Amino acid sequence: MPAQAGIHQYHSLHGFRLGGRNDGFHAHRLRASVVTTPTIDALRRQLAEHNHRYYIENAPIISDAEYDALLRQLQRMEEESGEPIPADSPTQTVGAPPSTSFAARAHQVPMLSLANAFSDGEMADFHRRVRDALGEAAPITFVVEPKIDGLAINLRYEEGHLVSAATRGDGATGEDVTANVRTIRDIPWRIDTPAPPLLEVRGEVLMDHATFNQLNAERAEAGEPPFANPRNAAAGSLRQIDPRVTAKRGLRFFAYAVGAGADDLPAVTSQQQLLAWLKGCGFPVQPWQQCDTIEAIQGLVAEWEQTKRATMPYDIDGLVFKVDALAQQRLLGAISRSPRWAIARKFAAEEVTTTVQWIHWQVGRTGVLTPVADLTPVAVAGVMVSHATLHNIDELRRKDVRPGDTVVVRRAGDVIPEVVRSLGNSGQRAPQPVAPSHCPVCGAHTVHEAGEVAIRCGNASCSAQLHQHLCHFVSRNAMDIDGLGSRLLAKLVERRIVTSIADLYRLPWQELARWEGIGDTRIRNLKQALEASKTRPLDRFLFALGIHLVGATTARALTARFPSLEALQSANRGMLERVDGVGPLVAQAVVEFFAEAANRELIATLRALGVNPQPAAEQSGHHLPLKGQRIVITGSFDHWKRSALEQKLRSLGAATSSSVSKKTDLVIAGAKAGSKLANAERLGVKVMTAEELAPWLESLEA
Ligand code: IVH
């Protein structure tokens, strides 16, 4: 039996109505499948198979010329048969000769858009409006879905077959992009479960981050301008004249709504059931959550905006909240072009575009010169940004950022803003910046060692280096000297009052007291802060010294094994390398640091000035039941601040880390644990719950 007749029968058996516009279509289809010669069908199937191999599997088994010959043969036979041509015949779809423009296509049911809320207050207003309209007593459940930053598409299925696809357009009519949509592997050409005879499935076409980055890298290789963001890349890829180009772009799709046919879905009375039904039909849907109080709504917004958003493999620009019950949706209805039962809670933009005014080189504490873009100020994720790092000369060249360029800037979490990519400039571009031959601060020659990306100022007493070094020394995770800010330190360096770290502990207080803005209270506080810093734990002191490659974690690992400065200073490379987490490079950096007479002298001077770092836990005879254990903490805890819990675990000998790997021994998961917990489960790492924490800690300390 020809396949299409089979499908028809299947739908009829399940009692779906055939009515209105569909009758004509259906009759044609039926007749076509009954009267056409098997050769046409066979040819269609054969071509469909080749399409699949070409577009979906990327593994064609015939040449383009052979494909074209088959297609022309089918075209001829279809013309000669005089029969109506099914919409999904290969002659009508992907293999068809590229069209030069997109035809207009009306949606059966208009595509609405969503009202936006930008604040907790606006969300509360939405919640109140829904409550008031449905009455205080009615229980209301909301469904929450990530708001994908892609483009909306309407897929029209007739008798379970994809017959057309159109962009949203003005909501009533969009552009017909059927041939291109057929190349998206997430979108089924046929629905095999019982479905209404006319069904409009709606959702978002998008490009994920990995695909986007790869596409832009390929474009850069080919000398083509990059896409500004994944949304533009998705739109550009969908609106290709030649579907073969679309097919190569790796677009994805998620379904979230139904237009025509919504009233005829089997046993669907809520948005959650609708999503589940779409999923059952073979459409990808995003994971959804449900909530019912305004507090829960606000909580979800905060959680998604602050943490979950950054872990998504594609761009989302907010959350969509929808009243779950379809009956309640009907009661609420729509105003102008958006439903009253849904709202888009938008996040602050995380990536924005602005222009580069200049690129300057900043000298870091180890003398490394970092290129920094001075930007036309712009708000990124709610914070004004006027500088963004370009990391190093290699990155600068790779991204090809030049003064005058329009650039995409990103700020994720509390990370320093960075230039993600340059979009070039419509006019004549400035020349590419070159690596500076002299330090912009002290004028000394720079060194660019072979095989290293970093360019350094060759002058060890460069004032910029000293300033940065001091800023690091006093910073919170190092010696934590409150009140010694960057500006005051810059002034002290500039006036040559401070020429080394040791000078911080012999400041000429009487002179400082004469400076503007430095009163008695400030001096008293500064003296206190300096005094308190003298007895910081050894690992912090070690970190504060700014030894190349020795960050806070490495410093802790080192002092756990070498609990005094003397022990550390006399350790050789082999001994250092035996410390967990210390490799040959770190070991060498530590040995080199202590081999340098100037550094040993500095430590001696600091000691003489009363700096007396406290021995690490082990030497004080502390009990270390968690020695060698790698622990990751995730989520929140009622009785512990995360930082305090981390400190506690470290004091018991554990090494804490922020990411879960196969080497992790234990994950402690509090409330709202997210991807780290999932990773732990995936990797089979042991997980402890918040409830188990207190008795466990007690048992350890017993
Ligand atoms: S529902 C009547 N759900 O946001 C409701 N829209 O600003 C129809 N969008 O045009 C839309 N993710 O392109 C819905 N999970 C989601 C969505 C979503 C992204 C887009 C969609 C819509 C626009 C409205």
- Supply the CATH number for residue 355's domain: 2.40.50.140
Count of domains for the chain:
5
The SS3 call for residue 658 is: coil
Strand stretches in 312-468, DSSP E: 316-323, 334-335, 338-339, 342-346, 351-363, 369-380, 383-389, 406-410, 418-422, 446-447, 456-457
CA–CA separation, 164 vs 158, rounded Å? 9
118 with 126: CB under 8 angstroms? no
Regarding whether 250 and 220 lie in a shared domain, the answer is: yes
Pairing of strands 142-148, 316-323: antiparallel
Pairing of strands 198-206, 252-258: antiparallel
Ligand 1, atom nearest to 342 Cα: 5
Q: What is the pLDDT of residue 653?
A: 79
Ligand 1, atom nearest to 145 Cα: 15
pTM of the full structure: 0.54
**Is the CB of 114 within 6 Å of ligand 1?**
yes
Regarding whether 356 and 272 lie in a shared domain, the answer is: no
Q: What is the pLDDT of residue 21?
A: 27
Regarding whether 236 and 140 lie in a shared domain, the answer is: yes
Report the length, in residues, of the chain. 702
Tell me which residue has its CA closest to atom 7 in ligand 1.
114
CA–CA separation, 390 vs 387, rounded Å? 10
Could you state, in chain order, the average pLDDT of each consecutive group of 10 residues for the chain (702 residues)?
A: 28 25 29 48 87 59 72 87 84 49 89 90 96 93 96 96 92 92 96 95 96 87 79 89 92 98 94 97 97 95 90 93 97 88 89 92 89 91 84 90 93 72 88 93 87 84 89 92 92 93 96 90 94 94 91 89 90 92 88 90 95 71 74 87 81 83 90 86 87 81 61
Which residue range forms the structural domain that includes residue 501?
463-533
Regarding whether 304 and 214 lie in a shared domain, the answer is: yes
**Is the CB of 147 within 6 Å of ligand 1?**
yes
Tell me which residue has its CA closest to atom 23 in ligand 1.
113
CA–CA separation, 152 vs 374, rounded Å? 36
Q: What is the pLDDT of residue 702?
A: 57
Q: What is the pLDDT of residue 358?
A: 95
Regarding whether 278 and 226 lie in a shared domain, the answer is: yes
Q: Which of 37, 50, 46, 28 is nearest to 2 (CA)?
A: 37
**Is the CB of 204 within 6 Å of ligand 1?**
yes
Tell me which residue has its CA closest to atom 13 in ligand 1.
152
Regarding whether 362 and 496 lie in a shared domain, the answer is: no
Regarding whether 553 and 511 lie in a shared domain, the answer is: no
Choose one of 349, 377, 403: the last residue of a domain. Answer: 349
Regarding whether 315 and 297 lie in a shared domain, the answer is: yes
Residue 617 φ/ψ, nearest 5 degrees: -50, -45
Q: What is the pLDDT of residue 622?
A: 56
DSSP 14: T
Question: What is the CA(51)–ligand 1 centre distance, in A?
Answer: 31
Pairing of strands 161-167, 383-389: unpaired
Choose one of 594, 619, 644: the last residue of a domain. Answer: 619
Q: What is the pLDDT of residue 477?
A: 86
Residue 104 host element (H or E):
strand 104-106
Catalytic residues: 147
Q: What is the pLDDT of residue 59?
A: 58
Choose one of 432, 456, 480: the last residue of a domain. Answer: 456
Question: What is the CA(380)–ligand 1 centre distance, in A?
Answer: 23
- CATH code of residue 549: 1.10.150.20
Regarding whether 483 and 427 lie in a shared domain, the answer is: no
Cβ neighbours around 695 below 10 Å, total: 9
Mutate to test the pocket of ligand 1, among 148, 154, 288, 343 (most ligand atoms within 8 A of CB): 148
Hey, what's the torsion of the CAs at 374, 375, 379, 380, to 10 degrees?
-70
**Is the CB of 321 within 6 Å of ligand 1?**
no
- CATH code of residue 175: 3.30.470.30
Pairing of strands 151-158, 351-363: unpaired
- CATH code of residue 666: 3.40.50.10190
Mutate to test the pocket of ligand 1, among 144, 153, 204, 319 (most ligand atoms within 8 A of CB): 204
DSSP 250-278: --EEEEEEE-TTGGG-TT--BHHHHHHHH
**Is the CB of 344 within 6 Å of ligand 1?**
yes
Regarding whether 582 and 627 lie in a shared domain, the answer is: no
Regarding whether 185 and 118 lie in a shared domain, the answer is: yes
Regarding whether 505 and 390 lie in a shared domain, the answer is: no
CA–CA separation, 95 vs 52, rounded Å? 11
The dihedral through the CA atoms of 33, 39, 40, 42 has a sign that is positive
Question: What is the CA(205)–ligand 1 centre distance, in A?
Answer: 11
